Every structure is written in C-alpha cells, then in structure tokens.
Structure 1
Amino acid sequence: MRNFAVVGPGQATRERLTAALAAAPDLAVYRIGRGADPLPVAATFDPSDQSGCRSLLDWFERGAPSGAVLLVDDWALCAGQDPGLGGTVEWIAAFGPARGVQVVVTARRWADVPDRLRKHLLGEPTDFLALHEIEADLSNMWQRNDFRAAAGVDDRGWPVNAELALGSAVHRGTPDQLLSLLLGFLVTHSADHVQYLLIDGDGSGVFEPLAFMSQVAHTMTPAADDATVVRLLDAFYGEINRRQEIVHTAGKFKSLNDYRKALMNGAPLDPVAELIVCVSGANAFIAREPKFLAALLMGMRAGRVLGVHVMFAGEVPQGLPHELPEWPLATPTYDFAEMLDVLPDVAGGGFAYEIMLPPLGDPLTLDMLPPGAVGLIDKPYEHRIDPFVPDFTPELRHGAIVGAPGTGKSTTLRTLATVLGDLSAYQLLDGPGEPLDPQRHIVVTARTWDQVPPFIRDSLAFGIELRLDDPDTSLINGRSAAHVPNLPGMGLSVHDKAAVQIAVT
C-alpha cells in the first residue's frame, strides 16, 4: 500500500484517478469531495458535513477494513470546508499503510497540499504542464513573475524548484535535466520577465529544441564563424553596460530588483527581464575565444544587481575564482520529450530584447537607406545597426578606400559620388597615383594603406578598409581585418572601428 497525490488540471487528475481505481476493483473507496462522475466509491462525504468528516478518525481507529482507500478529492475545496481535515488525514496517512489503509489526494496545485502531509504522500504530476500548474488549454502560460520554476520531480514525485535569486549556478546532470529546467522557465515566464542567451561551445546540440522559442535572445553554436563570436563578446559587454545605464545611471536604483519594484508601483519604466546565460561546453568555447572567460566572470558578478545569471551545463570553466552552487537535480516528467516537440510551436511568450542583431551582408541598395547614407554600420556593443553617413569637415577633410582587388573599391567610390551629388568641392580618384588638389576634399582608392598619401591618412573623414591582402597591415587591427568577409562592399570604418557594408547604386 502507498499513499499518493495526483496533481494537475481537473480533467487530467480525474482520468488518472479513474484508471488507478479501476485497476484495483477490490478496494473500498471512501471519498470526501463533490466529484460528479461515477467513480467506484463505497461512500461519499460532503466536505461541508463536518460531523461526518470528523468521524474519519473514529473510523480509522476502530478498525477501517484492510484495502480501504480514503480519497480526498480536490484538497483545496475539502480543506477549505473543514480546517481540521489536514491533521486527521495526516494521521491516517502516517499510520494507515501499516494497517492496509491508503490515502489518495487530488489537487489542482502543488501548493494546495500541506507540507506536513506531503511527507507521507508520493506526488504524481499528470504531465509536464501539471508540474508547472499550467492548464491544459495553455491559457495561463507565462504568468509567473517569482523567478522560480520546477526542474522536475524528486524521488518521491514532488516538484524540485530552482530560483534565479540564487545567482550563478553549475549543473552536473544530464542534458534532459538541464532542458527540463530551462523549458520550465520558458513555459511559466514571459520575455518581460526572463530571457535567454544560449551558448553551445562543443556542438552537443543540447539547446536545439529551445533555440526558436521567442524568449531566446540568441543561440551560439560552433558553426558560427570567428567574426560572429567576437560580435557576441561585444554584444554581451554592451548588454552589461545597457543594464548599468538603465538601473544605476538613468534610474538611480541600487539594483534591478529595486527598479522592478518601482515599475510595479506605477513608475513610467520599461520592463527589463532577467537574463539567463546558459553555457554548454564552456572550456571549448573559451579555448576558441579566451576573452569570453572574463566576460562570463563579469556577468556572474553582475548577477543579483543587474539580473544576469550565468549557468554552466556539465563542465565548469577552468580558472573560476570561486566555487558555484549546484542546481537541484531532478527527474523530468515522463512526457518531457513530447513537450519539447509541442511547446516551441506555441506563440505568446513575448519576444526577447535583441542582444545580437543579424550580421551585415544581405543585399543593400541606396534606395533602402535614408538620404545621405552610403551604407550601414554595425554596432554590436550598442545592439544597433545604423546608417553610415560620411562626414567631411574642415578638420577631417579627406577619404581613402583600401582593399584587395575585387573587394568593391570602385563600387564604393561610385556610391559615395552618388550620395554627395555636387562634387565641386570633392576630388574622387580611383587610384592613388593621380594629381591631387589639396584645396578640395580628396578621396582615393588603394590596395594598401602605404599607397595612401600621409596627409590623407592623417585627416580621414571617410576611411573604409575592405578585405586586405594582408590583415596585419590594417590601420585598425589585424584581428578585425581578418574577420572581414570576402564580399564586395564589406569592410571596416576606420573612424568607428566597426563593420560596415556599402550599398550599391
């Protein structure tokens, strides 16, 4: 004999209970509740009949028959009608199995069942949704704002919860245990409350089932090129800075928690979600980009103040200065794999703030840009892509377009000429070897920076570095130059030290 509680939406618990009782027809079921369906029960007590309910203890003490089942059907309803019911049922649950008497409880919410009674019951979530107290019609998904979610169940079947308030954490369990926790947060918290940055450093594919959820800001895999990894690093530092600006500088708050309290009290503020940075294969990713360890450490330090939580799946990065708490280990519910297939297709959880905008590279023409712009400039630190507008001044007078053959130098010069329109004040030269008129703004093309006259290099208003034959000759830095795509019009702005894409006319 064993005591158990079936928890979940009404219809699901009813189906589970009916099946359990039908499988043991010799049991004599004594029910407290108001179930309207024809369950096979020997007697039903209305929970408002307090005298009848109080006779339970007498019934048990004076020899309840072996094989009897005490069914408390809808715990919140029954206990609400008889406040003393909890103590009585707890007593019977504690000593009943030794006498052949079993206690079965149904409940709609896990919190409905008292903690003291839970110790004597095995929990049974009807499904993954029931574990998270979500109705079958999904109408109450994404309603939580307490930053807790169930990771699965313990060895007695009761929920095991994790809290973001604990800050950074390390998880040493299986991929399913990790996904169960993340999916638990995804189905209970909207993008206004929790968002995700998922980094798969070793190609395990652990995050693939969640990558398309709308609350996921970005998913990084080993398939990303080196330039994308560097963009992510810039974008992550930018996100830390953005949160500092919102919380400390603009809002004058001590922490994101104080900011959120002001928002809930009616202050005219925009929601700022908690950010979970979840890393699998951390050492492989850090080996590829060593600077990312410092970025993760900064994120861990920012945790409680700025709402950034760094979680590691499996291995812990080498070089961490302190130990991290472990996530609570839990077993996913039996239908977890099914939920992974179904829930990512359900819309409605809101959309994450775009930490990592798509890179430049799609076809770009001048008619797609505002007047005066020759292209786009990528600003990953600021999470922006802006129009790229040349700005010639008396101090910064000249320009140079430098790149290997076939990188779009002539096209860039034609685009600039089209945007400038009146060229009376400009001298645009396709090559560095022509006569120069220093009274005008001069723009030249060249294969290397050594071919550009020093007086132009020293006064660059418009410096474009396309793909170079030798990245080490870059005027910006060799690493950035090496990441420039080998596509016409793709390059770097010397002044901004950022990626640019020049439009074609």
Structure 2
Amino acid sequence: MIRNFAVVGPGQATRERLTAALAAAPDTAVYRIGRGADPLPVAATFDPSDQPGCRSLLDWFERGAPSGAVLLVDDWALCAGQDPELDRTVEWIAALGPARGVQVVVTARKWADLPDRLRRHLLGEPTDFLALHGIEADLSNMWQRDDLKAAAGVDDRGWPVHVEITLGSAVHRGTPAQLQSALLGLMVTHSADHVQYLFVDGDGSGVFDPLAFVDQVAFTITPAADDAMVVRLLDAFYGEINRRQEIVHTEGNRVPELIICVSGAEAFLAREPKFLAALLMAMRAGRSLGMHVVFAGQVPQGIPYELPEWPLANPTHDFAEALDDLPDVTGGGLAYEIVLPPLEEPLTLGMLPPGAVGLLDKPYEHRRDPFVPHFTTELRHGAIVGAPGSGKSTALRTLAAALGDLSAFQLLDGPGEPLDPQRHIVVTAHTWDQVPQFIKDSLAFGIELRLDDPNTSLINARSASHVPDQPGMGLSVHDKTAVQIAAP
C-alpha cells in the first residue's frame, strides 16, 4: 500500500522509485500534476500551467475522491513555480486524505524544494546517498557547501537529520555506520578549504578505516602506531593549536575547521595521558580556532564539560556502496599535513643545500629544516655521541664533506687523541661522559645518535628511547628534536 511520501533525487532515480512503488500497488488510481516521463500508470496528467484543470482535479479530491486514489505532484519545484497556491492545497490533501484512503506522493530534485509545512505530512525518501546531500549523479557539485552543515542521514520518517559543526565539541553515541554516515556527508559536501579531519582510533575499532584516505583527512592514528608516533602526534597537535592561534592573531581570518574524532578515548589516553591536556586545550579554544572534538562512544574521565550529542541518523539504503566508492573520489582539496611522517627515507649529502649535513625533524612546527652546523668564537666545538653501529664515523665524514675547508677544524673519530684548542674540535664518543667538558661547555654542533642507555641522554631519556635503531638517526642537542644525518 502506498502512503504519503516524498522521493527526492535526480529525475531518473525518482522515476525508477515511483515505477517500483506504483507497480507494487496495481489497483491505485494515480492523478498526476507535472510533466513526468511516461510510462507511469496514471489515470490523468495535468500540466502545472493548466491551473483550471488542476483546480478541478483538486476540487474533485475535496468533494470525495475514491479510496485508493493517489495525487502525484511530479517535480515539486516545477509545479509550485507554475501554481503558487499548490502548496496549501496539497498540504490539505496530505493531512486529511489518508483517513479516506487518498495519498499524496511528491517528487523533488532537492530537499529545499519542499515546503516545511508539507513535510510534516509526508514520509521522506532520498533515492540514494548522493540525493540525500543534493549531489548530482556525475558528482559535478561535490564540495560546494560552505555553511558547515551536512546531513548525517535520515530520521525514522525519512527526512534528513543534519549535523552542525559549529556546535563545537560533542559526543556521538550511535553505531559506527551512523558516525561514518555523518562524516562522509561532511566530506562529500565540504572541501578541505572548509573542513578537515584528524582521526584517533584508540582501541582498534576500525571505525575510521574506510575514511582514513579521504583527501580532507589530515592524519589517522591507530593502536598499530609505535610510541614514537604517539609522541609525534602530541607534539604536532600542540603545534597545530599554536599555528592556528598565530594565524587568527596576525591575519585575522579563519583557518579550515578541524574535526578531531576520537574513538576509544580511554585506551588512547591510557597510552598517552598527556594527550588529555591537549584535547582540553583544543576544546576550550575550539570555537575561535576552528577546532572541534567529537568522542565516539564514551567521553573519557577528566573532561569537565557536559558535551552535547551529535545527532543520530539512519544511513541511506546504499550507504555501504557509497562508503566503498566515494572516499576514492579526489578533488576536494588536500588537508594541511599536521603530522609529517618520521625521517626514514635514505638521505645523501647531494640532496641537501650547501653546508647542510642532514635534516632536522620539527613535528611541532610541521616541517623539516636543513641541519647546518654553525661554529662561532663562543660556540666552537662539536661532539657526535652514540652506541657502536649508530653511524658516528659516517656522520663525521659527512661533516667533513659539508665543511670543505678543514684548516680551522680538528675532526677526531674518538675522544682520546691529542686536541688542538686553537681549532674547532669535533669528536665522536660512545657516551657524553667521554666528551671533554670544555667541548660540552662550548658545543656548537651536538649530535646524539642511538644510545646504549637512553638515561644518559643530554636531551631527555624519553626522546632518546625513541631514536630508531638505524645509523644516522638521532637528536640535535641544540634543537631538541630528531635529526637525520646524510650519507657523505
């Protein structure tokens, strides 16, 4: 049996849906207003510009249409544009007709075409996920919205349920598919210029996996990440807060909204408790900086706010297919790279500018800089410290090649040789205790490669423990950050 409903989507899709609905009710007498393409099993069709004809048809309904009759308004925008009084009449029939066995069916290209008062009497039905968001079948109008709002799915009556980013931080207590539907809806309607995403999967739920490679996603972390990557994310997150503060303060304009989605928050915070303070900072400054935190499931302990809930909605019938296909569609712009991958690719001296010996890794600043030694009259000397096999000798050869003229330098592979304090001295050593104190007091060039005991680090034990077991990887003493020394 047909009930009052509105089907929304491209013309061909609505035609297929109507054909299926009417075929399922073969005894229905359909009276159509509109210019819909045949074949549809209709008893009579009226052109919307034929107002007298439409009026007589509607008068007939008012006097007592037979049970089982359906008034089909085919393409609401077209019909209402031709007949300004159509909405009141159709609303009346939709409200009173079902009690007499008379139903109203409406087709529309967009949700916005349908009057709010009429919607109360109809069941809504998008033809597919794209139709829910007003996107054409050829995807030509994806990423066009700038209102920071999108449909999360549909309610129990089939009408769109919208999520509003400007609500700020929130909690989503629905199913993974409901969260994915809301996020994918935002992704297909908003470009990276307006909305970007950072996903934290703390418990391995995999809820973000289908969306992790969408162009608007800045970064995704899962339990598979090592401890060094977790620390890297924390540094980069604080750096992102600072970057946004500087942009808003100096340039006065907004940056793209950043939605931080956290699933399994308790598990992630158990691994890195310091991240709670970072989340709180983002939540406090979120509205002014465009940062929003959405917890999937439970809100972790330590959040002192009562968070509103993101609306729950039912995904469309074809959502699984949309989830498989749409994340691969490119063109929405690229998210700002908040977390750069760690230094690990092979690096040679020829890949660097003159004078540089390696790359400085700066996750807080979201960048890498050439590492150029600077020897002065105050900071005269250098030391390369690391365990056997960490790349000390190679680093010393790289420094020699980068310096070129070594007349003012004394480069020693080991601290036990005669020293010439009139020159800049650079020594290698297994531990900092083996480096002469006068060199440590005037350290222009300090490299700490992998140590046998991170607790002996001149920087800090935690950073030293995360240095990869790979020759040439280490820490810069002055910059307090990771460095990769190039091969000569």
TM-score bucket of the superposed structures, by smaller chain: over 0.9
- Structure 2 residue identity aligned to 1:367: G
- Rounded Cα–Cα distance in structure 2 between residues aligned with 1:370 and 1:8: 56
Alpha-carbon distance in 2 for matches of 1:74, 1:98: 25
Q: For this pair of structures, how many residues does the alignment match? A: 487
Structural mapping, 1:13-32, within 5 Å: 13-32=14-33
User: Of the candidates 485, 492, 497, which is equivalent to residue 468 of structure 2?
Assistant: 485
Residue of structure 1 in register with 2:304 after alignment: 321
SS at match of 1:324: coil
How far 1:23 moved relative to its partner? 1.8
3-state secondary structure, aligned to 2:64: coil
Deviation at 1:53, TM superposition (A): 2.2
Deviations 1:212-265 (A, max 9, x none): 1111111101111111111111111111111111111x22x3xxxxx25xxxxx
Are residues 1:303 and 2:286 paired? yes
- CA distance in 1 between counterparts of 2:32 and 2:68 reads 14
What per-residue deviation string (whole Å, max 9, x for no partner) do you get for residues 247-298 of structure 1? Answer: 11x22x3xxxxx25xxxxxxxxxxx311111111111111111110010111
- Percent of aligned positions that are identical: 84
In structure 1, the partner of 2:480 is: 497
The reply to whether residue 79 of structure 1 matches residue 80 of structure 2 is yes
Q: Which secondary structure does the structure 1 equivalent of 2:53 belong to?
A: helix
Post-superposition shift, 1:100?
Answer: 0.6
Q: Corresponding residue for 2:454?
A: 471
Alignment pair present for 1:362 and 2:345 = yes
User: Are 1:59 and 2:60 counterparts?
Assistant: yes
User: How much does 1:405 deviate?
Assistant: 0.6
CA contact (8 A) 1:7 1:130 kept: yes
- In 1, Cα distance between the equivalents of 2:279 and 2:174? 21
Task: After superposition, give the CA deviation of every residue in 1:53-87 in whole Å (9 maximum; x if it has no partner).
Answer: 23344212211011100000011111111111111
1:418 aligns with 2:401: yes
The separation in 2 between residues aligned to 1:318 and 1:23, in whole angstroms, is: 53
Structure-2 residue corresponding to 1:214? 215
Which of residues 318, 326, 338 in structure 2 aligns to 1:343? 326
Q: What does residue range 261-300 of structure 1 map to in structure 2 within 5 Å?
A: 272-300=255-283
Q: Report whether the alignment pairs 1:110 with 2:93.
A: no
Q: Which runs of 5+ in 1 are unaligned?
A: 254-258, 261-271
Name which of 400, 407, 411 aligns with 1:428.
411
Given the alignment of the two structures, is residue 461 of structure 1 paired with residue 444 of structure 2, yes or no?
A: yes
Structure 1 residues 5-404: aligned runs within 5 Å: 5-248=6-249, 250-251=250-251, 253=252, 259=253, 272-404=255-387
Instruction: Confirm or deny: 8 A CA contact 1:195 1:216 kept in the other structure.
Output: yes
Offset at residue 304 of structure 1 (A) = 1.2
Q: 1:376 is paired with a residue of what secondary structure?
A: strand
CA distance in structure 1 between the partners assigned to 2:189 and 2:38 by the alignment: 31
Q: Secondary structure at the match of 1:197?
A: strand
Instruction: Measure the CA separation in 1 of the matches of 2:41 and 2:57.
Output: 19
Is the contact made by 1:56 and 1:88 (CA closer than 8 Å) also made in structure 2?
no
CA distance in 2: counterparts of 1:166 and 1:328, whole angstroms: 11
Q: How many Å separate the matches in 2 of 1:61 and 1:160?
A: 33
Structure 1 residues 328-363: Cα deviation after superposition (integer angstroms, max 9, x where no partner): 111111111111111122111111111111110111
Are the aligned partners of 1:413 and 1:428 in contact in 2 as well (CA < 8 Å)?
yes
1:408 paired to 2:391? yes
Other structure's SS at 2:364 match: helix
TM-score normalised per structure 2: 0.98
TM, length-normalised to structure 1: 0.95
Measured after TM superposition, the shift of residue 11 of structure 1 is 1.0
Contact 1:53 1:85 in 2 (8 A): no
In 2, the alpha carbon distance for the partners of 1:416 and 1:195 equals 41
Find the aligned partners of 1:458 and 1:80 in 2 and give their Cα distance: 83
CA deviations 1:98-141 (Å, max 9, x no partner) are 10101000001111111111111001110111111111111111
Where does structure 2 lack aligned partners over 5 or more consecutive residues?
none
* Distance of 1:370 and 1:301 partners within structure 2: 42
Task: Tell which deviates more after alignment, 103-112 or 52-61.
Answer: 52-61
Q: Which SS does the other structure have where 1:31 is aligned?
A: strand
C-alpha distance in 2 between matches for 1:221 and 1:80: 52
* Structure 1 outlier segments of 4+, above 6 Å: none
SS of aligned partner of 2:56: helix
What SS does the corresponding residue of 1:413 show, helix, strand or coil?
A: helix
1:51 Cα shift? 2.2
Given that residues 200 and 219 in structure 1 are in contact (C-alpha distance below 8 angstroms), is that contact kept between their aligned partners in structure 2? yes
TM-aligned CA deviation for residue 38 of structure 1: 2.3
Root-mean-square deviation over aligned CA pairs: 1.0
**Partner SS, residue 62 of structure 1:** helix
Q: State the SS of the aligned residue for 2:157.
A: coil
User: What is the CA–CA distance in structure 1 between the aligned matches of 2:457 and 2:160, rounded to whole Å?
Assistant: 57
- Secondary structure at the aligned position of 1:151 is classed as strand
